[in-house]
Structure 1
Amino acid sequence: MSVKITFKDGHRDEELRYQDGDGREYRYVIGENGTLSIFGKEEGGRLVRNQQPDIVYGPAAWYSVEGDVRTKADEPVSRAYSA
């Protein structure tokens, strides 16, 4: 699923989509301070644990968001090593 953002600006009725496809998938995270971060990854791949978002919107910029939330399933698989 793509990520769709609706903005708060009363002067425009705009939506922005980060569309999955062409080998990319998008996830979002809502921060404790209300920021909205968008992350892109290779289709079927994983996000790096400390990966920086592709873009961040401040809490006053956006109204609603739909799509796939970033989850632990998007993070790298932990590996156990034995000596």
Structure 2
Amino acid sequence: MSVEIKFIGVEKPFRHEDGEGREYRYVVNDNGTLSIFEKESPGGHINPKDPPIAVYGAAAWFSVTGDVRTSADAPRPKVRGF
């Protein structure tokens, strides 16, 4: 799914999307910045150490829609034998 951002002072929203089916997630950070992440593959995961593909300052945007990054986007832990 895409992430759509409405920037301050810009009439038309910006979308993080492509024609290849990649999925994007967003996180609103504690300082008000907006980070955008791209999944490795459709239905894939976002590794915890992966950097965002874009970061927007708190004064640049005022609205975002799409899918929020959640713990479901992280890879499942590998369980070793008992």
TM beyond 0.5:
yes
More strand by share: 1
Q: Deviations over 1:14-68 (max 9, x none)?
A: 3101126413100000000000000011111101111100000000000100000
- Alignment length, in residue pairs? 81
In structure 1, the residue matched to 2:42 is 43
Structure 1 portions without partners, runs of 5+: none
**TM-score, with structure 1 as normaliser:** 0.89
Partner Cα distance (2:33, 2:19) in 1: 25
User: Contact between 1:4 and 1:15, CA under 8 Å: does it hold in 2?
Assistant: yes
Runs of 4+ with >6 A deviation? none
Partner Cα distance (1:70, 1:15) in 2: 20
Q: Give percent identity, aligned residues only.
A: 52
Instruction: Tell me how large the CA RMSD over aligned residues is.
Output: 1.4
User: Contact between 1:20 and 1:26, CA under 8 Å: does it hold in 2?
Assistant: no
**TM-score, with structure 2 as normaliser:** 0.90
In structure 2, the residue matched to 1:24 is 22
In structure 1, the residue matched to 2:55 is 56
